[in-house]
Structure 1
Amino acid sequence: MSDSDCCSCHEKWVGYRCNCYFISSEEKTWNESRHFCASQKSSLLQLQNRDEQDFMSSSQHFYWIGLSYSEEHTAWLWENGSALSQDLLSIIEIQKGKCAIY
């Protein structure tokens, strides 16, 4: 059984461990990427633990993820409002002080 067997993803999306991922070849800003994902009823990638990095670890490219710095909370927050786990901090690169890539 392959990792994508339990996934039913749209065309051009990749199934991995019962999740669907869209990897764009277009260069966009973090906000443009976030809006594109929202238009697809999706969101930027949100890493919850190191196991979830397996899918992207073979790539030679960097991708925007759903993490940004909240001035109000003075903390890095995922799009769903949860805080960034400290054990994930080493695999994330901060861009322009407000957004992050993986």
Structure 2
Amino acid sequence: MAAFQTTSWRLISGALGVVCLLLMATLGILLKRSFTRQSIQPTSSPGSTVEPQEGSDCCSCQEKWIGYRCNCYFFSKGDNTWVESRDFCASQNSSLLQLESKDELDFLKFRGRLYWIGLSYNETRGAWVWEDGSALSQDLLSFFQTLDSKKCIVYTSDKEILDEPCGEKNPSICKQQLT
């Protein structure tokens, strides 16, 4: 009779040991999957030398867009007129770049190209305005007196704003605000 009780307890303890191992393995797999999903980040734009910087982890951008401070940016490879560029950005649920801060200017480090941005001259208001109608901050860019109001605006790799005939073909920067 004592041998029967010892065998039963061995079977029960063996079964509990197997269940415990299975639970620990399942927990390990779930934790690994959880950490893997959190570390995946959206990245790169085609043909751009821009790298994601601090603060880009609060948004999820579509493929080929770059996240920075809860905004997504796309640097086009193809050259289009200003109007074609504006329409392309709109088709991507975004708008031509609207600069909001000096930090954003520092983030936009790229080389060798002129890029259309969403700034134009509003004849009625007699001022340079962004696509959404907001006024340009003179603190951000203060050298607009010499620009031709009949032309469109490009942003250069030297952080300069220049005027170009709107029919010229240049790449563009689209911006999608996620906040």
Q: Same fold (TM over 0.5)?
A: yes
Q: Which runs of 5+ in 1 are unaligned?
A: none
Q: Does 1:68 align with 2:108?
A: no
Give the partner amino acid of 2:56: S
- State the identity as a percent: 61
Q: 1:99 aligns with which of 149, 152, 162?
A: 152
Q: How far apart in 2 are the matches of 1:13 and 1:27?
A: 18
Larger radius of gyration: 2
Name whichever structure is richer in helix by fraction.
2
Q: Give the TM-score, by structure 2 length.
A: 0.50
Q: How far apart in 2 are the matches of 1:51 and 1:2?
A: 11
Q: How far apart in 1 are the matches of 2:70 and 2:78?
A: 25
Residue by residue over 1:68-93, the C-alpha shift from the partner in whole angstroms, topping out at 9 and shown as x without a partner, is: 011111110101111111221349x9
Aligned length: 100
Native 8 Å contact 1:95 1:101 kept in 2: no
RCO higher in 1 or 2 (8 Å CA, sep ≥ 6)? 2
Q: Does 1:59 align with 2:110?
A: yes
Give the partner amino acid of 1:72: T
